[in-house]
Amino acid sequence: MSADLRISPRERLVLTAIVEAYIATGEPVASQAVAHHFGSKDGMSSATIRNVMASLGEAGLLEQRHTSAGRIPTAQAFRFYVEQLSGFSRLAPGTLTQERRDQIEDNFVGVHSSQQFLERTSHVLAMLSSSVGVAFACGTESHSLEHIHFTRLTAGRVLAVVVTMAGAVLDRVLVLDRDLTHTELGVAARFLNENFHGWSIERIRLELVHRVEAERNEYDRLLSSLEELCRKGAFAPEVADQTIFVEGVGNLVASEMDRERLRQLLGALEAKQRLIELLNAYVDSRQQVVRVVVGLEDSIPEMSNIVLFGAPVRLGAESLGTVAVIGSTRIQYQETINAVSFIVQLSDRILQAPQ
C-alpha cells in the first residue's frame, strides 16, 4: 500500500515539509522547525507536530538516529514525496524559467548528430543537477536505414557512416582483415542503399548473413565485401547500444556518505554496462513521462538512498536513446524533472527529425 493511502492530510503536510527541509539543509528536522514553517495559521502546535512526527515514524516514513535528534526522511518518505509531484511527471517543463531554458539551449549550439546530442546531454544534466548525467543510445534494431556510406581511411581501415530514417547519424571505424578498394566500397554502399532503404539495421544484418550463404556463387565478390564489412561491425549492435556518456560522478564526492560506501557507489557508476542495464530496467522507450525512482538498491546494492530520473529521447517516432540523472535523495526534484523534460523535447528541433 502506498504511503498516501495510509496517512492523513495533516500527516501529508508535515511529511512534505520535513522532506523539503531535509533536502535544503541535509540536517535532521526538529519539530520546532516544522512548527516555524507552518506558523500559527495552520493550527498545529509543536505538541501536535511532535505527535504527527511520531505517527509518521511508526509508519516507517521517518527515522530518528538519536533520541534527542530530529527526524530524517526514509526512502519510503522520498517515494511518497515523488508521488506528490505526480511521480511520473508529464513531459511539460512549464516551471522552467526562461533564463534556465536559454542556458540549456546555449549548451546545445553546434550539435548536429545524435551522438553529439547524447554526449552534450550528459554534460548539461550533470551541470544543472550537480549530480551524475547519463545518456546512451538505444539498440540498432530500432533504427531504419536512410543511407550508408563507406570511406577508405587507410589500408584495412574503413569509416562506415549510417544515417537513419529519423536523422540519427551512427559512425564507426572498421578494421578489416583484408583491404577493400574505393570501388568495392562504393559498390557495396550502392547495393545496400538500393536494396535495403527503410529496412531496420538488425534486419539488414541478418539478411546479409542469409544472402552470403544462399547466393555466394552468384554474388561472390560483392557479397564477400559486404560480409567483411558486416562481420567487422558496420551493422553490429554495439554501433549504438554500447555508446554511453556519463558525466558528473565527482559531484557525489561532496555528499555526506562515508568513504567506503562512496567508493562502492563510484565503482558501480563506472561499470557502464550496469548503468545500461539499470536504465533499461526502469525506463521504457515508449513512455511519455520522466520516471523518478527512489532507492535503487534492488538493482544495484550500492545505490541505496540514490534517486534516478530517466526518460526516453526520440527523433520523430523513432527511439534514439535514454537520458537520466542519478543523484542523492536530497536533489531538487521538480527542477530536475523539468530539466530532463525540456532536454528530451529539444531532440526533434535540434536534430531536425522529419515529420
User: Residue 107: is its pLDDT beyond 90?
Assistant: yes
pLDDT at 94: 53
Q: Is the pLDDT of residue 263 over 90?
A: no
Return the top range by mean pLDDT from 19-23, 263-267, 280-284, 345-349.
19-23
Most confident among 210-219, 220-229, 285-294, 332-341 (mean pLDDT): 332-341
CATH class of segment(s) 89-138+241-351: alpha beta
Residues 6+ apart with CB under 8 A from 178: 156, 228
Q: Give CA–CA dist 292/255, Å, rounded.
A: 20
DSSP string, 288-348: -EEEEEE--TTT-GGGTTEEEEEEEEEETTEEEEEEEEEEETTS-HHHHHHHHHHHHHHHH
Q: What pTM did the predictor assign?
A: 0.67
Residue whose C-alpha is closest to residue 313's, from 323, 303, 301, 326: 323
Instruction: Judge whether 280 and 309 are in contact, CB under 8 Å.
Output: no
Q: What is the pLDDT of residues 148-196, one digit of tens each?
A: 999 999 888 898 888 877 666 777 788 888 888 898 899 889 989 998 8
Using only C-alpha atoms, what is the Rg of the chain?
A: 26
Calculate mean pLDDT across residues 81-109: 75
* Domain limits, the chain: 3-73, 89-138+241-351, 143-239
Name the β-bridge partners of 295: none
pLDDT for res 21: 92
Select, from the ranges 179-193, 250-264, 272-286, the one with the highest average predicted confidence (pLDDT): 179-193
C-alpha of 85 from chain center: 19
Given a cut of 90, whether residue 121 has pLDDT beyond it is: yes
108-112, 233-237, 302-306: which range is least confident on average?
233-237
The CATH number corresponding to 143-239 among 3.30.390.10, 3.30.70.1250, 3.30.1330.10, 3.40.228.10 equals 3.30.390.10
State the burial class of residue 66 (Cβ atoms within 10 Å of its Cβ: 0-12, 13-18, 19+).
exposed
* 128 vs 230, higher pLDDT: 128
Q: Is the pLDDT of residue 216 over 80?
A: no
**Residue 345 in contact with residue 92, Cβ under 8 Å?**
no
Q: pLDDT tens, 53-94?
A: 999 999 889 988 776 678 999 988 998 888 877 544 444 445
Q: If you search the block for the grid coordinates 539499470, which residue do you land on?
A: 278
Mean local confidence (pLDDT), 272-294:
81
* Residue whose C-alpha cell reads 554496462 in the numeric block: 273
pLDDT higher than threshold 90 for residue 325:
yes
Mean pLDDT of 340-345: 90
Average pLDDT, the chain: 79
pLDDT of residue 283: 85
Contact 147, 193 (CB under 8 A): yes
pLDDT at 141 over 50: no
Say which CATH topology domain 3-73 has.
Answer: Arc Repressor Mutant, subunit A (1.10.10)
Q: pLDDT at position 244, please?
A: 81
Kindly state the percentage of the chain with pLDDT values over 90: 15
Residue 330: predicted pLDDT:
86
- Mean pLDDT value of segment 334-349: 89
3-state secondary structure of 64: coil
Per-residue pLDDT, averaged over 236-258, amounts to 63
